[in-house]
């Protein structure tokens, strides 16, 4: 569960190289709680004032969402730069899978398993170099830039509904077993995730 106000941050160098990849891709499966959007992740400079690399979701009105790739050389820039943006149908409270592929001077968005759009860009620099003090934030861009992302919170309610449904189904199968002269103790019930096997 990702909720606004909860800070998830780790040292950038703990997971990623000092010199970031020239060509790379991100994939995400998300279910926003509301239209506010926010950062899915952000690599932020040591002062927490510039996003060197990140993905930002923002409402664009008219039932659309803007997916932006942020790409900035914080050694030379004082403001976060957007490398490419894409307008997609809004998916608040719906699961959506998308990917961003960065290959030389092209940024490609794959949205819901289709190649959705391509943007031609000029990256400066072609490869970002991060300081050892850079931070990697998940679902925000830190205490100054903020824009926290909140994942849909219906999970607990949906899980409870599924549990009740499985309980009712097990009861029905048990009753059927009794009618068919099978004893309940001979009934085998396996539960794997949200899928039930009898």
**CATH numeric code, 8-145:** 2.60.120.200
Length of the chain: 198
C-alpha span between 186 and 26 (Å, rounded)? 48
pLDDT digits (tens, 9 = 90+) for 34-76: 888 888 899 999 999 999 999 999 988 888 999 999 999 999 9
Residue whose tokens read 């506010």: 36
Token couple for 147: 């824009």
C-alpha span between 68 and 54 (Å, rounded)? 8
Q: Which of 69-83, 128-142, 158-172, 182-196 has the lowest mean pLDDT?
A: 182-196
Residues whose CB is less than 8 angstroms from the CB of residue 154 and which lie 6 or more positions away in sequence, other chains included: 93
Q: For residue 103, name the pLDDT band (cuts at 50, 70, 90).
A: very high
Q: Which residue, 51, 59, 105, is CA-closest to 78?
A: 51
Q: How many CA atoms lie within 13 A of 190 on its CB side?
A: 3
pLDDT greater than 50 at residue 152: no
C-alpha span between 96 and 111 (Å, rounded)? 8
What are the residue ranges spanned by the domains of the chain? 8-145, 155-197
Look at residue 194 in the predicted model and tell me its pLDDT. Answer: 31
């Amino acid at each position: 569960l990702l909720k606004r106000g909860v800070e998830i941050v780790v040292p950038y160098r703990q997971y990623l190289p000092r010199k970031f990849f020239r060509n790379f891709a991100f994939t995400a499966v998300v279910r926003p709680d509301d239209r506010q959007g926010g950062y899915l992740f952000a690599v932020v400079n040591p002062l927490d004032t510039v996003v060197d690399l990140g993905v930002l979701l923002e409402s664009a009105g008219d039932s659309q969402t803007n997916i932006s790739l942020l790409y900035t050389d914080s050694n030379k820039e004082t403001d976060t730069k957007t490398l490419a943006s894409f307008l997609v149908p809004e998916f608040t409270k719906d699961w959506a899978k998308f990917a961003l592929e960065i290959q030389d001077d092209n940024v490609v968005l794959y949205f819901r398993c289709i190649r959705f759009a391509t943007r031609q860009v000029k990256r400066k620099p072609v490869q970002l170099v991060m300081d050892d003090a850079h931070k990697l934030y998940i679902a925000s861009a830190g205490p100054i830039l903020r824009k926290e992302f909140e994942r849909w919170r219906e999970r607990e309610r949906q899980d409870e509904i599924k549990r009740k449904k499985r309980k009712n189904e097990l009861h029905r199968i048990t009753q059927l077993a009794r009618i068919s002269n099978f004893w309940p103790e001979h009934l085998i019930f396996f539960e794997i995730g949200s899928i039930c096997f009898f």
